[in-house]
Structure formats: C-alpha cells, structure tokens
Chain A
C-alpha cells in the first residue's frame, strides 16, 4: 500500500477512526487543533464536535464511554488543567467503552503560556499514558490506546508534543474496526462516584495499575534495540528520533511508548546490559526520577536540562560535547513580532482604551492578547482562558481595599473564550458587586487557533448550521442592565460606549461586534485607504493604531495597498483629514 505524508495530528485522527471511535469532543488549542479538523472527513462513521471548553469535552467523551461508545477528546496541555476534575474521577470509576484523551504539550512554548509536562498528570491522575514519536506511531498507537482502555477499563492519555503533532512523516493506512455494540445497563457502583464507591474504586485502580505495569513490561510498545553494551539510552516521544539521529547504531536503545506505568522490570533488565545509561527526555525528569527511585543508576537531566525543546544539535552538544559548526551573521535582523492584522476589529477597541493611561485592562487568551503590544500597549494582565473578567474583579476589589477606587477596570475576552469559561466571571462581577466593565470582543469565530466554530458562530464542527447563542441576551439574563453592543471600527461610537459604560448607574457590559476579516464563508467589504500627501503633515498619529499596513516614507504616512483592507480606523484618527477610503 502507498504510504502518504501525514502530520501527527492527521495520523492520530486516522488512528481513532481505524480504532472504531464513535463519539469525539474537543476544544481547539495549538498544537492539538488539527486532530479534530481531520475528523469530519470520517463523519459517516463517527460523531465529532467542538465543545465550549476542555472540561465539557472530557465529560462528553466520558459519558459516551459510559454509554458504550468508543470516545475521544483532545486538548492542548493547559486544557488538561481545565478538564482535570472529570478526568481524575474517570480514572477511579474506570472506562466503559474505550476512552482516550489526547494531550498536546508545547515544549518551548511556540504558542502557549507555559511548558508544563503533562506526563506528570498521568502519575497524578493515575491514568495510563502512551507517547508516539512519529506519525505512523500516532496512528498505530491510537489503536493500541483504545485496546488498553478496554482491556483494563481505564481512560488512557495519548501524549503528543508540538513536534509530533506538526511534523509530517509517512503513514500506511489501515481499515476501520467496529466495536461490538453492548447494550447499556445502569451500573451504580461503577459510575456513581459516592465516597463509599470511590473507596472501592481506589483499591481497584491500584490493582489495575499493577496489572498495566506488567502489560507495559511485556508490550512491544516498549522496545529494546541492542547495539553493544557501551552506551544505553532510555528515551521516548520525539526525543527517541533525536537520539537515533545522533547516536545511530553506536548505542543501544530502550524506547518507551507506555510511559505510565513505566515498564520498570524491562528498564532494570536493559540497565543491566549496558555500562553507561542515559535518559533522554524533554522537560521534566519524569522517567529519570522514577528510575533513580527504583535504584537504577543513570544520567540525564544533568546534561540535557529541563528547559525548552531538545533537537539533535543540542543532544550532540550536551551529551557528546560536540559543538555544531555554524556561522552567526554580523548583520542583525530586526524582529517580526506578531501584530493584529490590518482590518482587525480588535484594533478600534484597544486604540480607544489606549488613550487613557490609567485604565486597567485584564486581557485573556486569544488574538486580542496582541492588544498588549506597542504602540497599543493596552493590557495589564493575561492569565488563562476565561480569566479576564475574574482577574479584573480581583484587581478592582484590591483597588477598593487600597483606597484607589478611582481606577477604571476592564475585563476583556473574545466570544469563544466567553463561552469557554468567561460566563462564570461575568456572574461573579454581578454577584459580588464588582466595579468592572466586562467587554466581549465578538469577532464571530475562534481566531487564534485558526478559525474554529463556537457556540456563538452559528455553525458546528461538521460545518452544519447550529443554534447561534446570543451573547447580549446571555449578559442581559445574568443581570447586566446596560449591555452596549458597538461596532469597534467606529471610533466615535466605541468611545461613546466606553464613556456610557463607565458612567452607568446600573451594571454595564460592552460587546464589540464585528467579524474577523479572515472568516471565509462571509463576504467582507474590502477596500483600501490612501494618504493625500498634500494634507499629511507627518504627525504620526496614524502609527498609534499599530496597523501593519501603515508606514512612514519621506516623513509622510504611506498605506500599503496590498495590505490595507479599508477599515478606516487610521482615517478616523488623522487630525488633518489626510486619509480617505478609495474604491479598489
């Protein structure tokens, strides 16, 4: 059979399909997003959806597992923090039909706020974990993950990393295997987690983990490759590929693909066959610490370090002491920091707030985090999904207690984040009489992860029409009596909305509503602005909006017609009326 090039994410989706998965739920997050973008193609055989957040996704998938359908959920590493509550209990109760949770970790933080090593979750939550190192393994091991889940009635973590998710390598496809349908029967002792049941579950779970360790010792997923006795390497995930690249056949390998429970007997056996033992793993000393606790003499983190991604060059340098030869340029490049796109609807909002330096603005995770960058510089904090409103509430309470109550505090998040976990913060502000203006930047899509639908966008993952949940009505129903919906691109209206909200006697909220210009299914009114150089006095006011389409050339403003979308925010800030919209 012809092999085809697939990313790890495509291959994991393929693997789940071949494993007979039936119910799939996820919330998008880099680097995991494309797993679910690759599921609708199998839509005749399985159901897949975007859930409002990772906790919901995990609960949906677990529910399906209880009901007897093989189920999958996927999330980025920090998504597991959100989903942790149901997952810990699912481990105690155990799975019904196969239940697999993909965690996509992001060493080096290519698009994340931390580089937590979610292998630690597998120990903590007592959930077995499988780690593939390339796309073929992403597909094959997914099938194995479902097998283990059903064999031991446990949820199974499937841990990928950015390089496993987004690297492409050759994959040979197989056929789908359907599970035998077993009629659902209520099982209270198993699935109702009362303390009395949970005590029994914990005893059971420890037994299962010992059995799975025995399985892990026997499994071909943890495989030995002997090339002499001088040097032995214990490694897993993408680090295995790096180690093979560097040491080729000059070392023996124990490749670990079931990293929880570790196959400790197999590792001890391997350790006994080699003179020097090195553990090569990214981030935490997950395997090394356990090996040392089991009395195995080994090295690892003393050389490889805990920070950031590894690569073959770093392994060569840190373990073999061989420095790579390369030339550093004497001509230094300037950075290309990401910026809000030309025509981004968030620009008008952040420009308006940037006019007052004493405003306190609590941001959130999404494209709008870029509102923190100069020249807009309109952000004080960004913590986690849905934190914008509640962090703002906490800051406003602190200002009150510190007698700085004149501070104006704004909580800011996007539409998808509002549905993810922002609604509870909006309730908190009302319930506990916060002095915060919650602002939802509703661009009609989940933007930063590459345009996934959400409960406000009117479509689902399969591309079918869905109920469009109205954020304004939600806020009104909570008790915001003054909900101001505004087009952020109209700067006068935007300013009026902010003044109105700040002066409001009743609880106020702002919804900035304008679609992202990159949404493909919508028609956008794209045109172009131009500068009349006779009128332009080179005052640089237009540079304060931070638009990539505007530059200064020969002391006059210049608008790049290939980038400009004609949003006119620059024209509205020009004090000399020198910018106008042209027909394109």
Chain B
C-alpha cells in the first residue's frame, strides 16, 4: 500500500477547491489509479475554511488522512496553509497561494491576520509559493486562480504524464476553457 499518495487541498469556501479536486480525480481515474476523495458539506460553506482530501494509488483504503498524512498540500489561501499544515508530512511539499482572504473577525478589527505565514511554512517545509492571484488577474479572470495552483501542484507531484488538458476539456464549460488552459500552463511553470 506504500504507493498511495495523499493530497490535501485547503482554502476558503468559494475559491474553487472542489472544482480542482474534480479535475484531479477524473484524471487519476482515467489513468487507472484507485482513487478516494473526501470533502465535508454543510456548515463548511459560506466563507468558512474548506479542506478536500484526495488519495490515489494501486489500492486505497481510507478516504481520509490524519495529521502527518499528506504528501502534498495545496493552500488556496496562505493562512489556511498554517491551519492545516499539521496534516502535511514533515518531508511533504506545500504549494501555497500568496493570497489573503480576511475572516470577518479580522475585517471588523476584532482579530488580527497573522504575520509571517509564508516564512513559517518556508521554515518548516519544502514550499512552492505562487502568486496565483496576479497571474489570474493578468489573464483577465481572477477566478482561474485555482487552476494556476492546480498546474503548480501537477508539477510538484510529477503527474505530468496525465493529459490534463484533455481532462479539463471534458470537465470545464467551453466559455471558461481557454483562459483556464492558459492558467494551468502558467501554474505548471511557476
């Protein structure tokens, strides 16, 4: 069972982590892997913190991991990276979006957004920091930030043998396909 890889995607509700997990699992299934994925619905929506776990290999039992169980983490928001970093193996890789979403308590001034999240992650883990927000904005669609990060993750995981462009063609609606393919390309090179 040692060939099983575990990925944890974390972010804030509405950032598109679920869409990335759909593309990812679709590609992995087509490539012949056993795949399990876990997400929690309900209260986690509405601007809350979100985590999705994807596991793949020749045979996967548990759909979820515990602390220290993920080979790679993709954080769509940088404070979420420190929230969930316990789930990452000490020798794991963290792909982090250099992007802040203020919780309501911070926006209203009753709490402070922590300083030094990226430095803390760099100190503890092998990190790939991506300015996905700027890249997506330059492409003209801030929402495709998630696919930039997806590209960076594919690169970090060494999953480039799968034809992700074909997978995205199957899953994404045509009106947003082209911009997302460009976003993916930028992420691959990030």
Which positions in A face B, CB cutoff 8 Å?
3-5, 30-31, 33-34, 110-111, 134, 162-163, 166-170, 238, 241-242, 244-245, 248, 311-314, 316, 324-341, 375, 448-450, 540, 543, 546, 548, 550-552
Interface string of B50-80 (1 = CB under 8 A from A): 0000000000111111111100000000011
Distance A242 CA – B1 CA, assembled complex (angstroms): 13
Interface string of B30-65 (1 = CB under 8 A from A): 000011111111111111110000000000111111
Chain B residues, Cβ within 8 Å of A552: 107-109
Pick the residue among A31, A336, A548 that contacts B41 (CB under 8 A).
Answer: A31
**Can you sample 26 A-B contacts with CB below 8 Å?**
A110-B40, A166-B39, A168-B25, A168-B63, A244-B62, A312-B62, A312-B69, A313-B68, A313-B69, A324-B67, A326-B85, A327-B85, A327-B124, A329-B83, A329-B86, A331-B82, A333-B82, A334-B105, A336-B49, A337-B48, A338-B46, A338-B48, A341-B47, A450-B41, A548-B47, A552-B109
Q: Choose, from B87-95, B130-138, B161-169, the stretch at the interface.
A: B87-95
Q: Which 8 A-B pairs have the closest CB atoms?
A: A313-B66, A111-B42, A551-B107, A326-B68, A167-B63, A324-B68, A30-B42, A329-B82
Chain B residues, Cβ within 8 Å of A166: 38-41
Chain A residues, Cβ within 8 Å of B43: 110-111, 338, 448
Pick the residue among B35, B41, B106, B109 that contacts A30 (CB under 8 A).
Answer: B41
Distance (whole angstroms) from the CB of B117 to the closest CB of chain A: 5
Residue of B nearest to A315 (CB): B66
Distance A311 CA – B62 CA, assembled complex (angstroms): 8
Distance A341 CA – B116 CA, assembled complex (angstroms): 29
- A313/B67 in contact, CB under 8 A: yes
Pick the residue among B38, B61, B114 that contacts A244 (CB under 8 A).
Answer: B61
Pick the residue among A170, A324, A448 that contacts B35 (CB under 8 A).
Answer: A170
Give chain A's interface secondary structure class: loop
- B68/A325 in contact, CB under 8 A: yes
Distance (whole angstroms) from the CB of B70 to the closest CB of chain A: 10
Distance (whole angstroms) from the CB of B157 to the closest CB of chain A: 19
Distance A248 CA – B59 CA, assembled complex (angstroms): 11
Pick the residue among A168, A244, A330, A336 that contacts B37 (CB under 8 A).
Answer: A168
Q: CB of B115 within 8 A of chain A?
A: yes
- If the complex has contacts A110-B40, A312-B69, are A326 and B103 also in contact, measured as CB distance less than 8 A? no
Chain B residues, Cβ within 8 Å of A4: 29
Distance (whole angstroms) from the CB of B159 to the closest CB of chain A: 17
- B42/A329 in contact, CB under 8 A: no
Q: CB of B26 within 8 A of chain A?
A: yes
- B38/A163 in contact, CB under 8 A: yes
Chain B residues, Cβ within 8 Å of A548: 47, 104, 107
Distance A339 CA – B44 CA, assembled complex (angstroms): 11
Which positions in B face A, CB cutoff 8 Å?
1, 12, 25-26, 29, 34-49, 60-69, 79-80, 82-83, 85-90, 102-109, 111-117, 120-121, 124-125
- B61/A339 in contact, CB under 8 A: no
- B103/A335 in contact, CB under 8 A: yes
Residue of A nearest to B119 (CB): A331
- B36/A168 in contact, CB under 8 A: yes
Distance A139 CA – B61 CA, assembled complex (angstroms): 17
Distance (whole angstroms) from the CB of B178 to the closest CB of chain A: 23
Chain A residues, Cβ within 8 Å of B37: 5, 167-169
Residue of A nearest to B2 (CB): A248
Residue of B nearest to A135 (CB): B36
Chain A residues, Cβ within 8 Å of B120: 329-331
- If the complex has contacts A110-B40, A313-B66, A339-B46, are A333 and B114 also in contact, measured as CB distance less than 8 A? yes
- B103/A334 in contact, CB under 8 A: yes
- B36/A334 in contact, CB under 8 A: no
Chain B residues, Cβ within 8 Å of A168: 25, 35-38, 63
Residue of A nearest to B28 (CB): A5
Chain A residues, Cβ within 8 Å of B49: 336
- B108/A550 in contact, CB under 8 A: yes
- B64/A332 in contact, CB under 8 A: no
- A5/B80 in contact, CB under 8 A: no
- If the complex has contacts A326-B87, A546-B104, A552-B109, are A339 and B47 also in contact, measured as CB distance less than 8 A? yes
Which residue among B47, B87, B88, B124 has the maximum number of chain A CB atoms within 10 Å of its CB? B47
Chain A residues, Cβ within 8 Å of B83: 329, 333
Distance A579 CA – B107 CA, assembled complex (angstroms): 17
- A110/B46 in contact, CB under 8 A: no
- If the complex has contacts A312-B65, A337-B48, A338-B43, are A5 and B25 also in contact, measured as CB distance less than 8 A? yes
Distance (whole angstroms) from the CB of B43 to the closest CB of chain A: 5
- If the complex has contacts A31-B42, A163-B64, A326-B68, are A336 and B103 also in contact, measured as CB distance less than 8 A? yes
Pick the residue among A3, A238, A311 that contacts B29 (CB under 8 A).
Answer: A3
Distance (whole angstroms) from the CB of B84 to the closest CB of chain A: 9
